[in-house]
Structure 1
């Protein structure tokens, strides 16, 4: 089967038809940019050519165990089992997730990890300060991918790209060798993502990666998959999927199982699917999803979407889109600067 990757429309094995991504399959063939090693699938980070695991370890969740050592154990176990994409953020658990990650990456683990973090600052000063704080907590000189976090308002792109805005700090940090690649994240509305891409283009900038919700419910409601994904593939921007289970709200619908959620997201032309693993059982589940993954054909995808359609239509399983429950910067506006 051909597994979708993110190294261009042809290499990705996808066609774009009326804004909907349609996978193309070819028997006994892996798509360009996709490799397998030791039971883990690795895909290319867009045009950057970095190899990252198809499953990424969610940064917020490794800060949830009460015992710091348990969080460190999860991180190292994930890396030992082939997961090299490490998600994190300046604001997760007031920096606690980054501190745990920094400790876990000691003893040779840093060389095995592709390290990503995010900042909330919208001003140059706030962003620069947060970048330096993340570097200190993570105990590294360079973060592989730094992303503008929670781009959820229509005005966020303007603030980020304004004179004296956060993008200036990001670019200066990249020039100084503090970060390698640049991206942004958001979970609210695909129109905000599209506007961020447009404002970036107006400023002659193309992101290396974009993170967004991709799951069996999103396909039906205010859909990032249908509205944003084709644009990212066209522009050779790496796609980072998140919220495959909607922070468990999708599972509470009782119409889909965890492995199905992970398989659906992995079946899209994503570089990685970031998922929470606050215990070793969830790490086992993620590894099992990779090991059991077989690219889904059109009929399999259609059947799964038909099963989830009615539940998804009002967005009740995607509260990050329809409520402010997941909007950390709305609750803490001082993070924006």
Structure 2
């Protein structure tokens, strides 16, 4: 049994996750009975207080992890460890890495976290860097079919600082999207509450009255980059809040759905985007580096987005690095 007591921080990508599931993702060899015993005896604590298995964690929370049983030999039915091929794949996604931060270029179709029917996801691939304190931590999320920049904290302190920047809206995120039609005005802010409906793969969000139960404020800034006549428009989108499916639901709400979106499309966008994957790409993130200075990361266009650009004649070099104001660099730490 490891004799080390650890204090780990909950990343933004783990917000609202049950405590027992949070443990299972890190130490799958710890049984339910063993976990319950540690909880009942108060050895596991959240922000210094006792907790139970159903406790919902919040981003930035501190979890006291007591000495845990050592992992035994692999039992029948357990999920296999990463193969050398898995490790190589995970490392191939790296856009930038230093002692505290990793930036991945998440491909379209790869989920960030697992579920009942999802066994291949970013969270699993993080074991390529090690387990326990060596394991990078998610600090924000991207939808499965959204490509682009995904940041990770390599240490508990770095993860907490990055998660805090996202929570306090100090991270400038720029997404590129191809939408149906020609939005007017060509730039502006969508300030529209959203509410979740459904669960799992059937979860959708829709516009809501601020007084509706479960409605959350959501704000998206947008700028037109280029047009393909009146058929389609290349947009730069900046979410000022981080709601589920926010960009997709907001563009649908103003009548210009993102192409290739089976959940939030309409007849026009479905026809126009036929054969295309979701045309939404997390192009750029700029925020304070946990160790000082400024972190600016850009992700190259995914093959799915390149197909959309080719169909409508867009050239990625037309866009400013910072279309919402101050011009910026191409990526890295400064």
Q: Shorter-chain TM-score: which interval?
A: under 0.3
**Which structure's relative contact order is higher, taking Cα pairs within 8 Å and 6+ residues apart?**
1
Scaled by the length of structure 1, the TM-score of the pair is: 0.24
Structure having the higher helix fraction is 1
Larger Rg belongs to: 2
Scaled by the length of structure 2, the TM-score of the pair is: 0.24
